[in-house]
Amino acid sequence: MYWLYLSIAIVFEVLGTTAMKWSNGLTNVWATVTMIISYGISFTALAVALKGIDVSVAYAIWSGLGIVFISLVGFFLFQEIMSSKKVMGIIFILFGVILLKTN
């Protein structure tokens, strides 16, 4: 059950970060409100997940998968450049998350 909360935390962290980009420096009200609500849900779900998952593992997976998914959002939604170094870094992050999950 705690892993479900961690998954929810990751999804809403990515949504919050995407909304932050759309907020245009907090000038877009709806995007700003979406960002604040999304981060609130994310941190709440992360707090619940920490009841059953070690903080070192949960936080690393939360932030690591957040980086991976927001990089993909940046590439597909915001046409950000995906250099070979960025791809390699993302692959290393994924390997780290897999190692933590299988520990």
Task: Return phi, psi of residue 83, to 5°.
Answer: -75, 165
Question: pTM for this structure?
Answer: 0.92
Measure the CA–CA gap between 54 and 60, rounded to whole angstroms. 10
Residue extents of the structural domains in the chain: 2-101
Owner of token pair 């949504």 = 15
H or E stretch including 66? helix 55-77
Q: What is the pLDDT of residue 100?
A: 86
pLDDT given at position 92: 95
pLDDT, mean of each 10-residue run, the chain (103 residues): 97 98 97 98 98 94 95 96 95 91 79
pLDDT, position 16: 98
pLDDT at residue 49, rounded to an integer: 98
Contacts (Cβ under 8 Å, ≥6 apart) of 82: 71, 75
Tokens, residue 34: 């979406």
Q: pLDDT value at position 89?
A: 94
- Reference 2, options 37, 46, 62; nearest CA is 46
